[in-house]
Amino acid sequence: MIAIIKYPAGNITSVENAVNRLGYECIITDDIAVLRTAERVIFPGVGEASTAMNYLREKGLDKIIPALTQPVLGICLGQQLMCNFSEENNTECLGIFNTIVKKFPPLELVPHMGWNNLQVLQSRLLKGIAAEDNFYFVHSFYAEPCESTTAICNYILPFSAVLEKDNFYATQFHPEKSADAGEKILKNFLGI
């Protein structure tokens, strides 16, 4: 069973639909016991960092998510919340990836919305992805490159498009909205 973390964020149903299209059963849940026993966990999201982190703290998920031992995939806001800190309302996050999330300058160019390709450094998640493959982004904040960065996107400046550390994987882009290339990434994750 694939567990999709339930919290106040958008895009959760799109992720559920994408996983179902690939032939996997999934459940949307904030139940700690279910998250601990799931084969894979997906942490999606479109939303605001402090509201999301408040919910995770209320439910005890801020302690459980970093302690999960199965493969975990963060998407968009999910990726940002897996970092140490977000400038979005000065939010302390989960600290899985040793980097901070900053707001893009200048304001007239945000949000970053549209299709971009990646510079892949090394990545299990991006196996089979070609340099010309494009992915769908929509975000105003970005994770700074760090030792866990396995792919970079350049928009205004280079930022972490993919982060990987131990059993944790994260994408700033939306694989569930990134056509065939995004489907390949979801398949790669579900096959880890």
Q: Give the residue numbers marked as catalytic.
A: 76, 174, 176
- The backbone torsions φ and ψ at residue 88, rounded to the nearest 5 degrees and listed phi first, read -70, 105
**What residues contact residue 119 under an 8 Å CB cut-off, 6+ apart?**
151, 152, 153, 154, 158
Residue 158 to residue 92: CA distance in whole angstroms:
23
Residue 177 to residue 186: CA distance in whole angstroms:
11
How crowded is the C-beta side of 122, counted as CA atoms within 13 Å?
A: 3
Cβ atoms 144, 154 nearer than 8 A: no
* 3-class secondary structure, 32: helix
Cβ atoms 101, 164 nearer than 8 A: no
Cβ atoms 151, 116 nearer than 8 A: no
